[in-house]
Structure 1
Amino acid sequence: MAYSYKNLFFDLDDTLWAFSENAHDTFEEMYFKYHYDRYFYSFEHYYKIYQDRNLELWAEYGDGRITKEDLNRQRFLYPLEAVGVADAALAKAFSDDFFSVIPTKSKLMPFAKEVLDYLSGKYRLYILSNGFQELQCHKMHSAGIAHYFKKVILSDDIGVLKPWPEIFHFALSATQSELKDSLMIGDSWDNDITGAKNVGMHQVFYNVNGKTDLPFRPTYHITNLKDLMQIL
């Protein structure tokens, strides 16, 4: 081990909790429950429209151009409007149901519990996530990983998202951690890796999507969470 770390800051979604799988499953359930097959050619047709607009809206939210309420209203309403269905009440019912179901999902990324078992006896573990307060802790409890973490730091806590420096400094302060012995672990190049690097924190890039065009070399680069057991 090249460095002596004490504090490990984990992203949650698609780093530990399998957000992409859990979200896909929940959206598919809601799609058929609310009979969206009346309006879309297939679930894949609906989900593609949703995902494309969702990415744009999250970028706007991250830049402070829209509120959390705007984000959640628009991303569920937009797919219906895109196919000529102006039904805000239907979108709201779908949204409310979605948010009640998704945090009950429990799929984790491969080897997540095994790795957390290994690390929890050696380091102080924290969550540093852009997710919403009403969802993240529920998701962790559903997946059986909440007990590994000493503190959960969320963008909701201060109204600032990764990769902005303020949330990293807030996380260090809230956990009484020092930059020199802290490590950020995440799957988002922009939010987790670039954000951490910009404040001088070492990083582990969990490259779940096979990203190849890396603008700089992260401190560590892994493709499997088990690789952390070799690094730390």
Structure 2
Amino acid sequence: MKLTNVEHVFFDLDHTLWDFDRNSALAFKEIFQEHKIELELNNFLEVYMPVNFKYWELYRNNAVSKEALRYGRLKDSFDKLNFETTDTTINNIADLYIQYLPKNNHLLDGTLEVLDNLKDRYQLHIITNGFEEVQHQKMQTSAIHNYFKTITTSEAAGVKKPHPQIFELALQKSGAKPENSVMIGDNLEADIIGAHKFGLNVIYLNPLEHQIQSLYPQVKKLKELLNYL
């Protein structure tokens, strides 16, 4: 069912448009090879990905700092794998990861098709909890920066999704009204519930088909957004 009266489309970035998992794996592969980290990459990623998810949840809830997230997700992963290393090495890998990550440019399937379809009919925007210094680089490297009128990061807002203040800032920057806007993202709490509480229309990108309340429209693939927009 088409959404009516929508003029502004707000996207999350990581895991919604930008293929975070694939690009992250490539960054770690490069780091491990260059610095002779004797770990099998897939074994590391199997442990790291849920640890990283946990730390981002803590970061979103202001339970850890950005620095603690960057260090802790690596330290915990290495500990789980019984891989002995030093704090100096961990901090070095953490810094290199932030440098290498945005050099990779893979997008989720359907991203360019959807953006090309929407760009002339809506004003497009980004709202992201990702770090200020890397989100713009990711979008430049993957050639999607020019699709978006505004980019609102949690660091610029001083709060993270689902806090209402980040949605308020994004709407102020864009000149949009909640009732004329839709938020699209992969995180139910941060993107969907947060935006819905602020009055935006929402569409949940749910590739793993998590069970959710039926009041939120959802799609499994990005191309399905065109059924709504």
- Matching residue's letter, 1:29: E
Of residues 199, 212, 215 in structure 2, which corresponds to 1:217? 215
What is the Cα deviation at residue 130 of structure 1? 0.6
The worse-fitting range, judged by mean Cα deviation, of 100-109 and 167-176 is 167-176
- Matching residue's letter, 2:222: L
Give me the TM-score of the superposition, normalised by structure 1: 0.91
CA RMSD of aligned residues (A): 1.7
1:119 and 2:121 equivalent? no
The worse-fitting range, judged by mean Cα deviation, of 85-94 and 145-154 is 85-94
1:159 corresponds in structure 2 to 158
- Matching residue's letter, 2:120: G
Structure 1: distance between partners of 2:213 and 2:32: 38
What is the Cα deviation at residue 160 of structure 1? 1.1
Structure 1: distance between partners of 2:52 and 2:108: 22
What is the Cα deviation at residue 34 of structure 1? 2.5
Identity %: 30
Of residues 49, 52, 57 in structure 2, which corresponds to 1:51? 49
1:22 corresponds in structure 2 to 23
1:8 corresponds in structure 2 to 9
1:199 corresponds in structure 2 to 198
Structure 2: distance between partners of 1:79 and 1:14: 21
Structure 2: distance between partners of 1:95 and 1:164: 27
What is the Cα deviation at residue 132 of structure 1? 0.6
Structure 1: distance between partners of 2:223 and 2:43: 35
Q: Contact (CA 8 Å) 1:80, 1:87: kept in 2 or not?
A: no
> Any unmatched runs of 5+ in structure 1?
none
1:143 and 2:142 equivalent? yes
- Matching residue's letter, 1:116: L
What is the Cα deviation at residue 22 of structure 1? 0.9
Aligned residues: 227
Structure 2: distance between partners of 1:16 and 1:45: 26
2:102 corresponds in structure 1 to 103
1:185 and 2:193 equivalent? no
- Matching residue's letter, 1:172: L
